[in-house]
A and B are shown apart, each in its own frame.
Chain A
């Protein structure tokens, strides 16, 4: 059980590249914290620095108030689960799980009991005498977990532990990791590039981009009040829609129509003061609804466009619209688009409609959304002007 503090921690490589830039992070005892971001954002480097596998170039890291920059990994009392599991192939499952105990010179009887306890928690008891080569992916993953939990370390570090599993198993293991963490109450730092994992697992999420922390907050906070374009685009699936807009007396002109500024939005903008005329508007797919299903449209905004593609998920329907002259060209989003490969000239608007909607592919559809659901971003810095303080 431990509290981990990163104080202005940076990592520079000898060739001059900065992998991690002045990260400040306080991880409370028992907390489950997620480091998330696209590949190459420095999340794994940060984790390795916490583990001690990589040196810290500048700044200070403290575990339970003690500086650990110079402490070797084995003396930090932290366990790690690797993306590749890194099981010792020449040892049986029992020996794999017991390896940390053997190194710590725990006496045989205690070790045996602890190994069996860990195996029990992870449903590995029948496989204790097998070698990793004879196990399935999910079982190997659990052995890696077992090796981490067996010595009750101060903290768990997990480096994309689920990314090698198939989709169904991943969801199951996600829940069981969450359950084990709750049960043991061990401080956990979890690295992933998958925003769904981040949203479902974490007490708090740290979003990183190019070595810089973008935002730290609870999943809900990140979803509702992203501080900038990058966070807004990263969190949420399907991701937020962005369109260019022009502010003109109490409203924003966009391809989605003229969106009036609500009191909340206006107050937030006033707080910022210096608001440019050209802005980027972000609307979550969930904010849209089939106009015919909305009762009391109020001051809602509607637009009509032909449906490009329709995906019916059962509980909801995703309708995709292509709107011309609506593409947002921002460096803050370019990185995300490069990752997903969704670089397009036209803007694609994704809307999540109720399953009862009679929407049809190829036909015009009127879509409604509330003007209060919009986020307004400053184009050059990417700052969310409506996030509030």
Chain B
């Protein structure tokens, strides 16, 4: 590979900068608005003239944002964990085994992923109300798992296919039960894939709005995105812009933390050295 010249480096720096700015300006704007005092919302300045943390205090003290946040974290984590565990098993079966109905199963899971969620809201609302799942955690966890599973199965089966089958045979010969082989050989090697998929699944659950708004009626199970839409101003004539902005900033924080924690575990090239080479 040729050495990178100064010109190339400058070019790349500029390009990266442009992309970063383009992507970050709306976010910074969000942050800026959330830090502005009520009276200066519409002054049009990017950098707030009057700094205040009042909006942040308000959403927790007045707006009752704590419970929706807990709901969001709990529901998203539980859904992700269940989807990943089920998805890993399913993906393993799809990658390794030949069984009747394999294509059908893959097709069906793809179908679920393609189904517009909006069209399912009304029937789900009726079903959940009649079986008592409405406005509960399981009432949201269930549809989240349903819609993240296709994604997890697809991504994970691609990852698992990359792992040489002989490793598993070797583990069997070394005295491992099928589950030990899976747990001690396959899973560690599939870890980058599992983590990547987990992040995607978590984001999908975390960002959902359609189900969250339709299948909940109170803070008992309402998640943060849905709760934001119920924010009201201090009076009928006041816009809750500040609170909404503050809440929007708050709900991005867990995702950033989640990604930062797991990103370190995504190490590429982990399988190198397994077979010949």
Interface residues of chain A, those whose CB is within 8 Å of chain B, are 51-53, 72-74, 78-80, 82, 84-90, 99-100, 103-104, 131-135, 137, 140, 147, 151, 157, 164
Contact = CB atoms under 8 A, between A and B. Distances in A.
B272 interface: yes
A86 B167 contact: yes
Given A85-B275, A89-B272, A74 B170 contact: no
A363 B189 CA distance: 63
A235 to B, nearest CB: 28
A324 to B, nearest CB: 44
- Chain B CB within 10 Å — which of A72, A80, A88 has the most? A88
B233 to A, nearest CB: 55
A73 B173 contact: yes
A164 B273 contact: no
B275 A86 contact: yes
B64 interface: no
Nearest to B98: A14
Contacts of B171: 88, 99
B265 to A, nearest CB: 12
A90 B274 CA distance: 9
B276 A137 contact: yes
B43 interface: no
Contacts of A133: 269, 272-273
Interface in B158-204: 164, 166-167, 169-177, 180, 185, 188-189
Given A53-B169, A82-B166, A82-B169, A87 B174 contact: no
Contacts of A140: 273, 276-277
A80 B272 contact: no
A135 B175 CA distance: 25
Interface of B: 164, 166-167, 169-177, 180, 185, 188-189, 269-277
Interface centre among B185, B272, B273 (most CB of A within 10 A): B273
A288 B170 CA distance: 47
A52 B177 CA distance: 13
12 contacts: A53-B169, A53-B173, A74-B172, A74-B175, A74-B177, A79-B174, A80-B173, A82-B170, A84-B276, A85-B276, A99-B171, A104-B175
B129 to A, nearest CB: 48
Contacts of B174: 74, 79, 99-100, 103, 147
Contact of A137 (B172, B177, B180, B277): B277
A144 to B, nearest CB: 8
Contact of B185 (A88, A100, A137): A88
Contacts of B172: 52-53, 72-74
A135 B177 contact: no
A87 B273 contact: yes
Contacts of B276: 84-85, 137, 140, 164
A82 B269 CA distance: 22
Nearest to A14: B98
A89 B189 contact: yes
B98 to A, nearest CB: 9
A259 B76 CA distance: 88
Nearest to B180: A103
B249 to A, nearest CB: 39
Nearest to B178: A72
